């Protein structure tokens, strides 16, 4: 990495930061937050999953979901936060949010966007293992959304994350079911036919069946709820919480 | 990011105030910016027009708590201010001659199911509506008037949009709503172009008193120079919209009262007995205008700032109300999902929902007007037959009526008469039609339409 000293009218960048690289991260932040860009599917899905998470948190912690900032006072960890698509709404709903991602470029992009939007979010370039080892205080809520299908050993990963949930706290997981329907829609449909996602985004073998998910959560010492399906309606172009677990689904678990 | 307001509405006219009220009652912090003091807008001479309020729009007025002031004053001995339209009679004609026998007749009784027995719509004088909206807005603690104020600049960034006033004071919000009319300053400032095409017509508007009761019937008489509408107000009064070529309109405006009344009578015929103008005359040039996009950076256009149409079908204000209702619904949803109120996703939803609807209506009104505003023999013949054919086909006629009463398309909750659970502001909790916003975001509005075909931006008309 080139080490340069760069000054602009407004700020002085740290000497270890290459301005060309910063421009690259800014471009990435733009990509993450472009509602019609390559992360469009996430933007479209986001309202549905945020709504589900908010309602479940409110029910669990006895908050009124119709309040302005119903999540005020809760500490939330978003694992695999990417560009911050989930962190920012959580902050707007009142929560104090930490986002971790194993890719430094994602953290940089997320920081740039949050700063421009005037939001305070604690973004860390870290793995969950390192976060746990650092003696981090556990959180009220840990979010594991659209992450498990990308990790090598989801069971171990969930155990590590469970260590970051306080007693009485919640963990949310969402992923894709390992069914023929999921293969057709999430891989053939989304990656090859609609080109919503880059080819190779998902590997079928890494999809997780709800029963496996429930077992992993129990093995991690958590008490999982019934999973809920999240279904795309191609006509309205929108997502809905349904009972259909065939493709995308979410699950909540309590650290009882 | 804490902004001064959630939403800044530029333009405190009918559409701007309706949007402001809808959003305020949903709990958003609203600033209304206008170049005039609110009191100036309430002056009697400010606006001589009356608007046809469709049944759906009137339900929204009810949900907003505004309808009471328009219709139920009778209880306290005052006049009611909303004249019901129970029937619409459309005919083709010529000044001084009896209307063609081939006519089109709409009766609200024929769509009673869809209407809950309500009329097709109501005629309300704009000034009455303004009074009712102002009174309701005053009750909302979360509406702040910034008026009179002149805007110098508007700066949008990733966190907020900021209005710079000409005294260099600034105010910020998450979203700016441009409701500043046909010549929208905000729209021009944002560099959003318009497609416009003139109709080579002017509308003369006035109020008349007439001898015989109008029976709550609206008459649309198609004269060669343009439509002549007699719209039933309360009592033995009617609002007149007389469309003419610019030259003839200017000439009519220059007439003394007596000659003007004589010209009116020639067009009216004698079915209402004698006719007497009882208000000043206003004259408005007509044109169609449609913004190329309804959204900019942290900006949405509503009402005439987005789409100005011919008054032929009485749909202009109703379109503006739908804009406000749709916007409020999208913003309530966005808040429940923790979205930034001005982010691209919210803007895209608004554009998708409103543009298709408005484009279709604008073009339909233009075609309707072109079809009727001429004296070409075959066209005249065809349209007369067309009118009577539509009249003979109940399903077609019912479709027209439902469209006119604003019940076609995706209706946001406000237009179905469902109020938001009031938050913030002191707006009194009104029992009855309060809809509790249930489990929030998990149910996405399935009614976001994709934009119509790519050609929808480019109608055949003149593009300026």
B227: tokens are: 């439509």
Q: Taking a C-beta distance cutoff of 8 angstroms, is the pair B71, B186 a contact?
A: no
Q: What is the pLDDT of residue B114?
A: 58
Write down the H helix ranges in B223-295: 246-254, 257-268
DSSP A7: B
Q: Decide if A166 touches B, using CB distance below 8 A.
A: no
The alpha carbon of B41 is separated from its chain's Cα centroid by a whole number of angstroms, namely 17
8 Å CB contact of A54 and B441 = yes
Residue A68: its chain B contacts at CB < 8 A?
A: 27, 335, 423
In a domain, residue B126? The reply is: yes
8 Å CB contact of A91 and B445 = no
Residue B175: its chain A contacts at CB < 8 A?
A: none
> What are the backbone dihedrals phi and psi of residue A8, each rounded to the nearest 5 degrees, phi first?
-125, 175
In order along its 464 residues, chain B shows pLDDT tens digits of 689 999 999 999 999 999 999 999 999 999 999 999 888 888 767 677 788 888 888 888 888 988 888 875 544 444 567 888 888 887 776 655 655 555 666 676 666 555 666 788 888 888 889 999 999 999 999 999 999 999 999 999 989 999 999 999 999 999 999 999 999 999 999 999 998 877 788 889 888 999 999 998 888 887 878 888 888 998 899 999 888 999 999 999 999 989 999 888 888 888 888 999 988 888 888 888 889 999 999 999 999 999 887 666 667 788 898 899 999 999 999 999 999 999 988 998 899 888 777 766 666 656 656 655 555 555 565 555 555 555 555 555 566 556 655 655 667 777 777 877 765 443 333 333 333 333 333 333 333 333 333 333 322 222 22
Q: Identify which of A45-59, A195-209, B396-410 has the greatest average pLDDT.
A: A45-59
Q: Which of B242, B366, B280, B249 is nearest to B316 (CA)?
A: B366
**pLDDT of A174 above 60:** yes
Residue B353: its chain A contacts at CB < 8 A?
A: none
Residue A240: its chain B contacts at CB < 8 A?
A: 442-444, 446
Among B339, B344, B442, beta carbon nearest to A55: B442
Q: Which of A79, A38, A93, A254 is nearest to A175 (CA)?
A: A79
Q: Decide if A221 touches B, using CB distance below 8 A.
A: no
User: For an interface test with A, which of B158, B338, B423 has the most A Cβ atoms less than 10 Å from its Cβ?
Assistant: B338
A90: tokens are: 């959580």
Q: What is the mean pLDDT of residues A51-63?
A: 96
In a domain, residue A130? The reply is: yes
Q: Identify which of A36-50, A165-179, B52-66, B434-448 has the greatest average pLDDT.
A: A165-179
Q: Which of B10, B368, B8, B36 is nearest to B183 (CA)?
A: B10
Q: Decide if B448 touches A, using CB distance below 8 A.
A: yes
In a domain, residue A212? The reply is: yes
Q: What is the pLDDT of residue B10?
A: 98
Among A55, A89, A93, beta carbon nearest to B439: A55
**pLDDT of A59 above 90:** yes
Q: Decide if A207 touches B, using CB distance below 8 A.
A: no
In a domain, residue B326? The reply is: yes
Whether ipTM exceeds 0.90: no
* B164 three-state secondary structure: strand
Q: Decide if A30 touches B, using CB distance below 8 A.
A: no
User: For an interface test with B, which of A34, A36, A45, A51 has the most B Cβ atoms less than 10 Å from its Cβ?
Assistant: A51
d(CA A198, CA A190): 9
Q: Which helix (H) or strand (E) holds B258?
A: helix B257-268
* A2 three-state secondary structure: coil
Between helix B55-63 and helix B316-336 the angle, nearest 10°, is: 50
pLDDT tens-place string over residues A213-255: 999 999 999 999 999 999 988 777 788 999 999 999 999 999 9
d(CA B192, CA B178): 12
Q: Decide if A92 touches B, using CB distance below 8 A.
A: yes
| CATH code for position B301 | 3.50.50.60
- B residues 344..403 contacting A (CB < 8 A): 344-345, 348
8 Å CB contact of A238 and B337 = no
Q: What is the mean pLDDT of residues A52-63?
A: 96
In a domain, residue A73? The reply is: yes
Domain that holds residue B378: 5-425
Q: Which of B376, B116, B49, B78 is nearest to B222 (CA)?
A: B376
Among B159, B442, B448, beta carbon nearest to A237: B448
Q: Decide if A119 touches B, using CB distance below 8 A.
A: yes
Q: Which of B101, B95, B303, B314 is nearest to B218 (CA)?
A: B314
Q: What is the pLDDT of residue B400?
A: 59
Q: Which residues pair with A246 in a beta bridge?
A: none
More confident residue, A77 or A13: A77
In a domain, residue B451? The reply is: no
d(CA A54, CA B442): 9
CA count, 13 A, side-chain hemisphere, B163: 27
In a domain, residue B357? The reply is: yes
DSSP A149: G
How many other C-beta atoms can be found within 10 angstroms of the C-beta atom of residue B148? 12
CA count, 13 A, side-chain hemisphere, B62: 20
d(CA B174, CA B2): 9
Q: Which residue has the tokens 């509005």?
A: B445
Q: What is the pLDDT of residue B218?
A: 87
DSSP B304: G
Q: Decide if B421 touches A, using CB distance below 8 A.
A: yes
Q: Which residue has the tokens 């009463």?
A: B405
User: For an interface test with A, which of B6, B26, B441 has the most A Cβ atoms less than 10 Å from its Cβ?
Assistant: B441
Domain count within chain A: 1
Q: Taking a C-beta distance cutoff of 8 angstroms, is the pair B203, B283 a contact?
A: yes
Q: Decide if A54 touches B, using CB distance below 8 A.
A: yes
How many other C-beta atoms can be found within 10 angstroms of the C-beta atom of residue B449? 17
Q: Which residue has the tokens 């800044």?
A: B8
| CATH code for position A121 | 3.40.50.150
Q: Taking a C-beta distance cutoff of 8 angstroms, is the pair B450, A237 a contact?
A: yes
CB pairs under 8 A between A and B: 98
In a domain, residue A2? The reply is: no
d(CA A246, CA A229): 7
Q: Taking a C-beta distance cutoff of 8 angstroms, is the pair B208, B278 a contact?
A: yes
In a domain, residue A106? The reply is: yes
Among A36, A46, A241, beta carbon nearest to B348: A36
Domain count within chain B: 1
A221: tokens are: 């010492």
Q: What is the pLDDT of residue B371?
A: 58
In a domain, residue B449? The reply is: no
Q: What is the pLDDT of residue B337?
A: 92
Between helix A210-219 and helix A154-162 the angle, nearest 10°, is: 40
Q: Taking a C-beta distance cutoff of 8 angstroms, is the pair B51, B203 a contact?
A: no
Q: Calculate the alpha carbon distances from B165 to A147, A191, B17, B153, B169 in Å.
A: 47, 49, 20, 7, 5
Q: Decide if B336 touches A, using CB distance below 8 A.
A: yes
Q: Decide if B188 touches A, using CB distance below 8 A.
A: no
Stated pTM of the model: 0.80
pLDDT tens-place string over residues A105-119: 899 999 999 999 999
Helix then strand then coil, % of chain B, to nearest 5: 40, 25, 35
Among B158, B348, B441, beta carbon nearest to A51: B441
Q: Decide if B160 touches A, using CB distance below 8 A.
A: yes
In a domain, residue A37? The reply is: yes
Domain that holds residue A183: 11-254
Residue B157: its chain A contacts at CB < 8 A?
A: 116
> What are the backbone dihedrals phi and psi of residue A128, each rounded to the nearest 5 degrees, phi first?
-65, -35
Between helix B316-336 and helix B14-25 the angle, nearest 10°, is: 30
């Amino acid at each position: 990495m080139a080490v340069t000293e760069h000054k602009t009218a407004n700020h002085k960048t740290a000497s270890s930061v290459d301005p060309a690289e910063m421009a690259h991260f800014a471009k990435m932040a733009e990509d993450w937050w472009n509602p019609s860009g390559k992360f469009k599917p996430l933007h479209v899905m986001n309202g549905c999953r945020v709504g589900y998470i908010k309602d479940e948190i409110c029910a669990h912690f006895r908050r009124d979901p119709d309040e302005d900032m119903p999540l005020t006072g809760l500490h939330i960890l978003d694992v695999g936060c990417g560009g911050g698509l989930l962190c920012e709404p959580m902050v707007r709903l009142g929560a104090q949010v930490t986002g971790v991602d194993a890719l430094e470029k994602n953290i940089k992009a997320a920081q740039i966007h949050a700063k421009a939007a005037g939001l305070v979010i604690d973004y860390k370039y870290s793995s969950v293992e390192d976060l746990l080892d650092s003696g981090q205080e556990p959180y009220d809520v840990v979010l594991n959304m659209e992450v498990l299908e990308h990790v090598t050993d989801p069971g171990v990963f969930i155990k590590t994350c469970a260590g970051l949930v306080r007693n009485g706290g919640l963990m949310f997981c969402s992923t894709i079911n390992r069914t023929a329907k999921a293969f057709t829609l999430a891989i053939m449909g989304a990656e090859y036919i609609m080109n919503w996602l880059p080819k190779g985004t998902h590997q079928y073998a890494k999809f997780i069946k709800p029963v496996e998910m429930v077992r992993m959560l129990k093995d991690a010492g958590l008490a999982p709820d019934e999973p809920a399906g999240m279904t795309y309606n191609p006509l309205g172009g929108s997502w809905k919480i349904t009972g259909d677990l065939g493709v995308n689904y979410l699950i909540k678990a309590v650290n009882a | 990011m804490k902004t001064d307001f959630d939403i800044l509405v530029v333009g405190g006219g009918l559409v701007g105030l309706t949007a402001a009220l809808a959003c305020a009652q949903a709990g958003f912090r609203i600033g209304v910016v206008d170049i005039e003091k609110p009191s100036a807008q309430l002056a009697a001479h400010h606006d001589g027009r009356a608007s046809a309020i469709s049944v759906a729009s009137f339900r929204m007025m009810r949900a907003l708590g505004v309808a009471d002031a328009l219709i139920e004053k009778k209880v306290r001995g005052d006049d009611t201010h909303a004249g019901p339209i129970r029937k619409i009679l459309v005919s083709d004609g010529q000044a001084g001659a009896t209307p063609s026998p081939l006519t089109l007749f709409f009766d609200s009784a024929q769509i009673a199911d869809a209407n809950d027995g309500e009329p097709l719509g109501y005629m309300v004088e704009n000034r009455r509506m303004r009074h009712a909206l102002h009174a309701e807005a005053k009750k909302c603690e979360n509406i702040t008037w910034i008026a009179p104020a002149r805007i110098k600049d508007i700066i949008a960034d990733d966190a907020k949009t900021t209005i710079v006033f000409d005294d260099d004071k600034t105010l910020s919000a998450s979203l700016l709503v441009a409701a500043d009319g046909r010549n929208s300053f905000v729209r021009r400032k944002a560099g959003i172009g318009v497609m416009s095409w003139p109709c080579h017509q002017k509308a003369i508007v006035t109020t008349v008193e007439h001898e015989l009761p109008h029976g709550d019937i609206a008459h649309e008489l198609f004269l060669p120079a343009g439509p002549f509408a007699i719209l039933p107000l309360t009592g033995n009064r009617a609002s007149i919209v007389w469309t003419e070529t610019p030259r003839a309109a200017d000439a009519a405006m220059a007439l003394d009262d007596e000659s003007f009344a004589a010209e009116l009578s020639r067009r009216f015929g004698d079915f209402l007995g004698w006719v007497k103008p009882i208000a000043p005359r206003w004259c408005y040039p007509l044109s169609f205008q449609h913004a190329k996009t309804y959204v900019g950076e942290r900006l949405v256009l509503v009402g005439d700032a987005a789409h100005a149409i011919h008054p032929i079908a009485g749909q202009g204000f109703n379109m503006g109300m739908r804009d406000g209702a749709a916007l409020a619904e999208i913003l309530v949803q966005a808040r429940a999902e923790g979205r930034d109120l001005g982010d691209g996703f919210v803007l895209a939803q608004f554009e998708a929902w409103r543009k298709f609807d408005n484009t279709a209506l604008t073009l339909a009104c233009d075609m309707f007007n072109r079809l009727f505003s001429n004296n070409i023999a075959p066209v005249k013949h065809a349209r007369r037959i067309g009118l009577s054919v539509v009249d003979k086909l109940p399903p077609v006629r019912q479709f027209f009526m439902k469209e006119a009463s604003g019940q076609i398309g995706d209706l946001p909750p406000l237009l179905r008469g469902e109020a938001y659970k009031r938050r913030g502001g002191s707006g009194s909790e009104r029992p009855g039609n309060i809809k509790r916003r249930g489990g929030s975001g998990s149910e996405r509005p399935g009614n976001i339409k994709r934009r119509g075909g790519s050609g929808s931006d480019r109608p055949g008309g003149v593009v300026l």
